[in-house]
Structure formats: structure tokens, C-alpha cells
Structure 1
Amino acid sequence: MKKATYAAVGIALLLIAIKSYAYFATNSVAMLSTLVDSMLDLGASAINLIAVRQSLVPADRDHRFGHGKAEALAGLFQSAIITGSAVFLLFQAGERLINPKTVYAGDVGIIVMVVSIVLTLVLVLYQRNVIRKTNSVAISADSLHYVGDVLINGGVILALILDTFFHLRFADGLFGILIALILLVSAWKIIRTSFADLMDEELGDEERENIKTIVLQQPGVLGIHDLRTRRSGQQVFIQMHIDMDGGISLHDAHTISDAVEARLMAEYPESEAIVHQDPIRVNDVPETLN
């Protein structure tokens, strides 16, 4: 995760450098839009770098559940920055749409955008690999920026082609507006993901059903109810009540609970499970599970 944040900051700095050159060479508002977007990416990636380092700090006396929610807080901060900049771009692009200006050195801008797309795709592929291994909210939010960048850079190339070779002056401002709207959509997705983490939203139905299946595979478990789940950064917290034969010893009940926790840890290495044992008579095993 730390390496992914370092890679994102490095790529963002490189993109800002080449896009700044392209903007001053082309005088394109679409190019300005993607330059501003890369500046946002740098800020967001820098915030992620700090948030990821904080989220990976082990639980301590004052933070018994760890520091995982630092990732979600970083996501909210990122979305606020992106939203403000998108609104700024809307005004800039709207003015250019009403009062079109000549775009210069369109070929330079196109070459820079192609290079930007290649660099961004390499970063996104690396981030996706990290996300598969860690399920990091912060890296997912950062990757979402750069996936949007691929679309944005493609849009800028199209705008430059239409303006430079077909003399469609409105294309520059129009694509600037479209890019701003893409940024707003990205900000909304980050907000939703961050709020799900901060508000202790349940895991998805598929994951919950998988947890139930794992628990019920343990010999001695007769049922499961009151399953509660939440995610905080890298950690998943699972709480449940399991039904067991009331006639077994406390030692055996504890052994079964430990086995359930071990099964869950094998499937979700980042999880922490709390299991409460409910004694029931074997003849009272419920036909349906909650």
C-alpha cells in the first residue's frame, strides 16, 4: 500500500510537468482541465500517502480498533477538493464555450496526452493489483481518480483533434465541461465509499452469506444469528451468535468457537471475529436461520 502511494505521487508529479508544458504550448482549456485534474491527483495521492501510513499503525491503548478509518477520512477530503476544482473548471470551460479561442500546437498536446494515458494505465494496473491484495479504501479512491484520467485524457485528445484539424472551436470548451462533470461523478463515488466505511455499513450480501456458510460448516455449530459486520480500513469486524448443544461442556463450547474464528481468519485474514455461544436443546434447532 505504501509503495502504491509513492508510485501515485511520482506519476502525478511527472504528469503535471508534461501537461504544464502542453498547456502553455496549446492554450487549450481542455488541456488546462486535465492539468488541474493532475494537480488534484497529486494532492489526493499525497493525502493518501499520509492516510495509508496512519491507517497501518497497529491498534493502541487509545484506538483499540486500530486506525483504519483514516483512509475513509482521506477519501472525504479528496472528494471535497475534487468537487471544488470541478466547479472551477465548469466556469472556465463555460466561458471558453461562449467565447472560443484558437488552440495552438495541437500535435504537441496530442502527443503529451498519449504519453499521459500510457503512464496512467501503468499506475492503474499496479493499483488494481494492490487493491486485490488489500481491499484498501484509500487506494481504491486514488485508483478511481486515475481511471477517470484515462477517459479525461482521451477526451482531451479528441477535443484537440476536432479543434486543430476540423476547426471546431466549440470542442475545447465542450470537452472541458464534460471533464468537469466526470470529476464530479468521481467525487460522488468516493464520498459513497468513504461514508460506507465511516458509518459502519454492513458487508455485502454475498460476503455475509459466505460468512454464514463458513460458520455452519464447523461441526458442533447448529445455527447462526445476529450476524453483524463492518469494515475499517484493512480490518473487517465480525460479530455473531452461534447455537450449540446446551449439553456440551464449557470447554467444548469454547473449542468450537475458537474453531469458528480460525475458519473466518483463514478466509478473511484481516478480520477480527467475536463469537457469542447460545446453548439450545438439540430438538430446538431452528428450521430457518436469521
Structure 2
Amino acid sequence: MQTPSQQNFRVQLGITVLSVVLFATKIIAYFLTHSLAILTDALESIVNVLAGFIGLYSLYVAAKPKDSDHPYGHGKAEFVSSAVEGTLIIGAGILIIGQTIQNLIDSKPIASLDKGLILVGITGLINYVAGNICLQIGRRNNSLALESSGKHLQLDTYSTIAIIVGLVVILYTHWNWLDTAIALSISGLILYNGYRIIRKSLAGIMDEADDDLLKQFVTILNANRKQNWIDLHNLRVIKYGSTLHVDCHLTVPWYLNIHQAHEEIDELSAMIEEKFGKAFELFVHTDGCMPFSCSICDKMDCTVRQYSFTQKIPFTLENISSNLKHGSNNLG
């Protein structure tokens, strides 16, 4: 059975080969039509090819096991790859703007639009299907490199659709100026999406808190909370490629022995595995409850309770991220 890292690599390999074929198809379409809009699409495909090889190498590196030099593994290589891909996308946008200006100075007549439309339409359909596969597998395996590839391929599809619509209009109206307008509009969209990919990759490199991921943890913790989990705090979730590293403090009854406390950690680990798969590492520090914990603890069979139970505090994004135990000050 393939590991998530192996599956990511095989998918990226297929995408890389596909990007080379689609780039060649768009170049043929450009030479048939001399359409600047189609050239725009082809230039963006150069980025697809380069990004494909970069992503392939990054997934190869990310799949390597941890070693003495990289105790957390090599997963961060995916963030670097994504940043490079975003930079290449921005470069393509700038190149397209430059080519558009050059075309205004030395324009060529548009020809054979019907044949060009067929070729470009086929590439757009294939790109969308491939991008959707990348996104689904990337999200399932927590692979930013695959997600970036998928978003880029789907962006390529949307720009292709815009180009096809514009070229159809040109075919029937002979408004050749629309060719330039389409190219400039798509270049703006490309620049914006390049920025978004770089922003997300830098967030991963800097270990920025992922609020969406933490909210998922809050939801499953509340849905599967055990009676001995008095509180859970100081939660940190960091993504290293397809692997999640989870650190937290778990407050349990102070009288549990080591084996009993470890059983609680095992249950927490099983809960995370059921939701996120086996690609994670869990490090839990267990805390014994304090007298102020009694008011938020609903363990009715406790024989050493010092204060009456008042209210159970649900886990929230704020209190699981705090480095303090939950107490009466958390009651709302």
C-alpha cells in the first residue's frame, strides 16, 4: 500500500508529464492562430512545466524519512517549492504584460481561430480534471505542493475559458483589440494568484498558526471528549509537508497513575488518527488537576473532589491555544 508521500509523488509525476504535453499543444495553437491570448495561455504553461519539475523534486525530498539533521523530517521542502511556484506564476504574469505591449507595437493578423479554439479547449478540459485530482489528493494528504499544482491547473482552465469566449467573439465580430484586452485581464488574475500561493507557503515556512486546522481540532475534540479530559491547552499544530506535528497539554485527574494517564493519551491519538490519518506525530504533556479544576470537572465518581461542579467548559480556539489550565476564570 502506498504511503501519502509516495502517492503525492506519483500524482505530481503524472502532472509534470501532462504539463509538457499541454504546453506543446498550446504552442501549436499559437503558431496556427498568432493569437496573443493563446500565446498568453502558452506562456503560463511554461510555468506549469517548471513548477511541475520543482514540485516533483520537493515531494521527493519531503518523502525522505527524518534523520539526525532533520529530526522533524523533510516536509518543509513542499513550502519552499510552493513559494518558487508562486514566484514563477508572478513572473509569467509580468512576461505576459510585456508580450502584450510588444504586440501592440508589432501586431500580427489573427488566423485559423477555429482550429486554435479546438486545441485550446481540449487543454482546458484536461487541465481542469487534472487540477481537481491534485486538489483532492493534496487536501487528503495535507500536501501544499499538490494543492498549489491543483490550484494552478484550475486557474489555467479558467483563463483558457476566458480566452475561448474572447476568441469566439473575435471570430464573429473581428474585434481584434479584444485579444489584447483578454491577455491583460488574465495577466492580472495570474499575478494575484501567484501572490496568494507565495503568501500561503511563507505562512507554512514561518509556522504561522492555521486557524482552519485548529478549528477542525476544536470540533473533533468536543465531539469525542472523554470524562477524564478536564481540559486541553497549549495546543500547537504544525504542518511539515503531509505530516502534522501536534503538541498539547492535557489535564487529567491528579490521582491517575502513569499507565492510566497514558491510556488517555492513546485515546486522544486514536481520535486524531481517525480524522487526519496516520501521518502525524503527537506529543502530550499530562497535567494533574488542581482544586480550581473541580468547578469545571463533571467526573461524578471522584472521591477527592473539593468543590462542587459548576459548569463544563467547551473547548474553543482561544482556550485550547492558551498556555494556562482552564479554571473558573474561563466560565462565561
- Measured in 1, the distance between the counterparts of 2:203 and 2:57 equals 21
Distance apart, 1:235 and its partner CA? 0.9
What TM-score comes out, normalization by structure 2 length? 0.81
The question of 1:76 aligning with 2:83 is answered yes
The question of 1:263 aligning with 2:271 is answered yes
| Deviations, residues 201-241 of structure 1 (Å, cap 9, x unaligned) | 22324223135326x62342211111111211111111111
The one of 16, 19, 24 aligned to 2:31: 24
Q: Which has the larger radius of gyration?
A: 2
- The residue aligned with 1:227 is 235
The one of 253, 259, 268 aligned to 1:251: 259
| Deviations, residues 111-152 of structure 1 (Å, cap 9, x unaligned) | 111111222123123223322431210000001111111111
Distance apart, 1:97 and its partner CA? 4.9
**Contact 1:201–1:231 (Cα < 8 Å) also in 2:** no
- AA matched with 1:253: A
What TM-score comes out, normalization by structure 1 length? 0.92
The question of 1:278 aligning with 2:278 is answered no
The question of 1:178 aligning with 2:185 is answered yes
**Contact 2:23–2:46 (Cα < 8 Å) also in 1:** yes
**Contact 2:16–2:49 (Cα < 8 Å) also in 1:** yes
**Contact 1:103–1:164 (Cα < 8 Å) also in 2:** no
SS in 1 for 2:248: strand
- The residue aligned with 1:239 is 247
- Measured in 1, the distance between the counterparts of 2:248 and 2:220 equals 10
Distance 1:229 1:129, change over 3 A: closer
Distance apart, 1:180 and its partner CA? 0.9
Structure 2: runs of 5+ lacking an equivalent: 1-7, 297-312, 320-332
- AA matched with 2:118: I
| Deviations, residues 250-270 of structure 1 (Å, cap 9, x unaligned) | 332233223322322232222
- Measured in 2, the distance between the counterparts of 1:228 and 1:132 equals 20
- The residue aligned with 1:206 is 215
Equivalent pairs, count = 289
- AA matched with 2:182: F
Distance apart, 1:101 and its partner CA? 4.0
- AA matched with 2:217: R
- The residue aligned with 2:324 is none
The question of 1:8 aligning with 2:12 is answered no
**Contact 1:229–1:237 (Cα < 8 Å) also in 2:** yes
- Measured in 2, the distance between the counterparts of 1:108 and 1:285 equals 76
SS in 2 for 1:285: helix
Distance apart, 1:196 and its partner CA? 2.1
Distance apart, 1:40 and its partner CA? 0.7
- Measured in 2, the distance between the counterparts of 1:284 and 1:171 equals 69
- AA matched with 2:119: V
**Contact 1:97–1:172 (Cα < 8 Å) also in 2:** no
Moved more, 92-101 or 176-185: 92-101
- The residue aligned with 2:126 is 119
**Contact 2:75–2:240 (Cα < 8 Å) also in 1:** yes
Distance apart, 1:2 and its partner CA? 1.7
1:121-160 equivalences in 2 (<5 Å):
121-160=128-167
SS in 2 for 1:272: strand
1:29-68 equivalences in 2 (<5 Å):
29-68=36-75
- Measured in 1, the distance between the counterparts of 2:295 and 2:97 equals 59
In percent, how many aligned pairs have the same letter?
A: 24
